[in-house]
Chains A and B, each alone.
Chain A
Amino acid sequence: MSKSYRDGLPISPENFVDQLMRLKRGSIGRRDFLGLTGLGIATAVMAREIGIMPTPAFAAENLGDRMSIATWPNYHDPATFENFKKDTGVAVEVNVFGSNEEMLAKLQAGASGWSLFVPTNYTISTYKKLGIIEPLEMAKLPNFDGSQEDPRFTSEGTIDAVTYAVPKNWGTTGFAVNTKKLTKPMTSWKEFWDTAMAEGDSRTMVHDYQLTTIGNALKYYGYSFNSLKPDELAKAEELLLKVKPHLFAVSSDYQPGMRAGDAWMTMCWTNDGAQLHRDIPEIAYVLGKEGGEIWTDFYAIPKDAPNKPAGYALLNYLMNPQVAVKEHLANGAPSTDARVNKVLPKEVLDNPILYPAADLLTPLEFGAAATLTDPGRAELMARFKSA
């Protein structure tokens, strides 16, 4: 018998008449009535909106219907937020930022509107000092398992035994090269800066970010990425001013330029490097052998978060290894969570962009809190940009 268009309808006409007659006889369950009329769904939605009835998945608290997260460009699998909305009814608004300083400035100014944000390791102590970050109630994050985290990457989320942030992923800062345009193999920051003034003239990008742009200029001379020494910073400034006229752009949003072929080389974070290489195989990711930056990005909740329940709910959702795996596959940065690394496909774990050789990782430095807030480095960056 061929399928009728009626198959799969919520209720068949016959069934409807039956129910109607039962209703007329006065015998109908409340559930039937609500289901039949659609009033049930309507009340449930209304109740959730105005906070009378909790959502089934998070019965303890009302999550509201929207929240906002501050994060980085090209950083999440969009499906994550769609699925979260499907599960909880909470729509996630994504605010994208170019630097930790900008995030800090917004939070400092107050009423950022975020219920979750993604700070980098070295900023967390500053947030704590300023009292604008929430100590996390770990009981609300059953999906997080501290014993599965690598403390090398995650220690900066915890200050005086209080956890203020839990890790999203870690990564490095290297550079991406279009090897079809710049054919000479490169392995160091010295080559990066020298190439920028030669074959890579007017095709090279550096970050609009003092931490990495000054830090990697310092590496040209083998100084510490975090140096605050005036004489070393003066050498870095001299190099930056010399390179400046040869640059294509000073911008932290370098994927469009690299993908369009306008830029041939750029300072680059692991996740962007992995995405670029995945889509355009001739774009290689290089770690300077002199060292440079290693980082961990965390999730944290601002003290003035307008929707903390939803912030916790999304954070807990993101800590689910099944969700995290999809995030890592989309974003490209390596995980700090052993449970996630266990599930990631072999080709990801073998990808040298994500999990570089030990001899390249050893010289890398975590950015320091003092480096972020140092006015001297801020002024140096301004002089570089205004030159």
Chain B
Amino acid sequence: MHGSRLRKNLLTAMLLGPATAWLVVFLVLPFIAIAVFSVGERAPEGGYQAAFTFAQYANLPARATAFWNTMVLAPVGALACLLVAYPVAYYLALKAPQRWRLILLALVVIPFWTSLLMRTYAWMYVLGGRGIPALLAFVGIEDVRLINTPGAVLLGIVYGYLPLMILPIYVSLERLDRRLLEASADLGATPISTFLGVTLKLSLPGVMTGFSLVMILLLGEYLIPTLLGGGKVFFIGNALVDLFLQSRNWPFGSAIAITLVLVSVVVLIAANRISTRVSGARRVDLI
């Protein structure tokens, strides 16, 4: 009996080993390095110089706008994704003919095979003066500007993150017990109240998973605002790029990065709590 427990532990260690090593090398160690940087000082020519000070954290309000912009962008972007994704997932899981379902799902995933950078560049072309505006000029609508607008950024976000929202919602809808829908109808509920009271409620874990996935990734987003927004609005991602590459204030950049990680964790915990409360005992096991 003792031996079998040992073997079980060994098996557990072997199975978890690769992922643990990966986490340690690529998450824990860099996190420690960044934490050490964040209490240091900027060297006179830029970079990092050893010290022990919390001055960088005291300086965080200097990037308050970047934090604020990100805190608005992340939920608004995730919400926009959700509004587009839910109907798609609903159709895929409950309405699409069985033989089409796999193909349609593949169509959702295929864009992921190309780098987001490439696809965002493609949007730059489509929205830029030689794309849609040129077509509009052809039919007589002159000087339309689509690129470098908030709308272009939102479009880019919805386009880039949609599959991450669709898939978890699809999964939770797909598991839905259809008999519950029948029962609801038998008990006299209208389709709308069935949807609100049964379908939507039971798919909430998927919604929360998708929402927090997209939101966490958006907290670090800088590519889409730079390319489709013209770099006019500063997000935390952009602040980090600037601090590490332009003004070369690594300690301040590190302090912001650490704060961003903490904010992400808070967001995750909040998402978890909300999801647990709304959908009863079912949890979104993200952390």
Contacts and interface: CB of A to CB of B under 8 A. Distances in A.
- For chain A, which range describes its interface: under 10, 10 to 19, 20 to 34, or 35 or more residues? 35 or more
Interface string B255-273: 0000000000000000000
19 contacts: A102-B245, A205-B230, A247-B232, A248-B145, A248-B148, A249-B232, A250-B231, A250-B232, A257-B128, A260-B129, A261-B129, A373-B44, A378-B249, A379-B62, A382-B239, A385-B232, A385-B234, A385-B238, A386-B234
A104 B249 CA distance: 12
A130 interface: yes
B231 A373 contact: no
A247 B145 CA distance: 13
Interface of B: 42, 44-47, 62-63, 65-66, 69, 124, 128-130, 133, 145, 147-148, 226, 230-232, 234, 238-239, 242-249
B118 to A, nearest CB: 15
A130 B133 CA distance: 49
B40 to A, nearest CB: 14
Interface in A210-251: 210, 244, 247-251
A251 B230 contact: yes
A24 B276 CA distance: 87
Nearest to A101: B246
Contacts of B47: 108
Given A101-B246, A383-B62, 20 more contacts: A101-B46, A105-B246, A106-B245, A129-B45, A248-B145, A249-B231, A250-B230, A260-B128, A260-B130, A373-B46, A375-B249, A378-B247, A379-B62, A381-B242, A381-B246, A381-B247, A382-B62, A382-B247, A385-B232, A386-B69
A331 to B, nearest CB: 23
Contacts of B230: 205, 247-251
A163 interface: no
B269 to A, nearest CB: 28
A209 to B, nearest CB: 8
A181 B243 CA distance: 36
Given A129-B45, A375-B42, A386-B234, A99 B246 contact: yes
Contact of B231 (A261, A382, A385): A385
Nearest to A247: B232
Contact of B45 (A130, A208, A381): A130
Nearest to A250: B231
> From DSSP, what is the main secondary structure of chain B's interface residues?
mixed
Contacts of B44: 373
A257 B131 CA distance: 12
By Cβ-Cβ distance, the 7 closest A-B pairs, closest first, are A249-B230, A378-B247, A260-B129, A386-B234, A261-B129, A386-B65, A262-B129
A289 to B, nearest CB: 28
Interface in A233-288: 244, 247-251, 256-257, 260-262
Most chain B CB within a 10 A radius of its CB, from A251, A379, A382? A382
> From DSSP, what is the main secondary structure of chain A's interface residues?
helix
A251 B128 CA distance: 15
A203 B148 CA distance: 10
A202 interface: yes
B246 A256 contact: no
Most chain B CB within a 10 A radius of its CB, from A102, A249, A386? A386
A375 B45 CA distance: 9
A126 B145 CA distance: 42
A369 to B, nearest CB: 10
A211 to B, nearest CB: 10
A261 B243 CA distance: 32
A202 B47 CA distance: 35
A304 to B, nearest CB: 15
Given A250-B231, A375-B249, A386-B239, A262 B45 contact: no
A387 interface: yes
Contacts of B247: 101, 210, 375, 378-379, 381-382
Contacts of A382: 62-63, 234, 239, 242-243, 247
Nearest to B227: A251
Nearest to A203: B145
A373 B145 CA distance: 36
A108 B245 CA distance: 10
Contacts of B245: 99, 101-102, 105-106
A210 B65 contact: no
A99 B241 CA distance: 12
Contacts of A130: 45
B148 A105 contact: no
A385 B249 contact: no
Nearest to A210: B246
Contacts of B147: 257, 262
B147 to A, nearest CB: 6
Contacts of A251: 226, 230-231
Nearest to A261: B129
A375 B41 CA distance: 13
Interface in A14-60: none
Contacts of B239: 382, 386
B218 to A, nearest CB: 17
Contacts of A210: 246-247
B267 to A, nearest CB: 21
Contact of A104 (B128, B243, B248): B248
Most chain B CB within a 10 A radius of its CB, from A105, A129, A256? A105
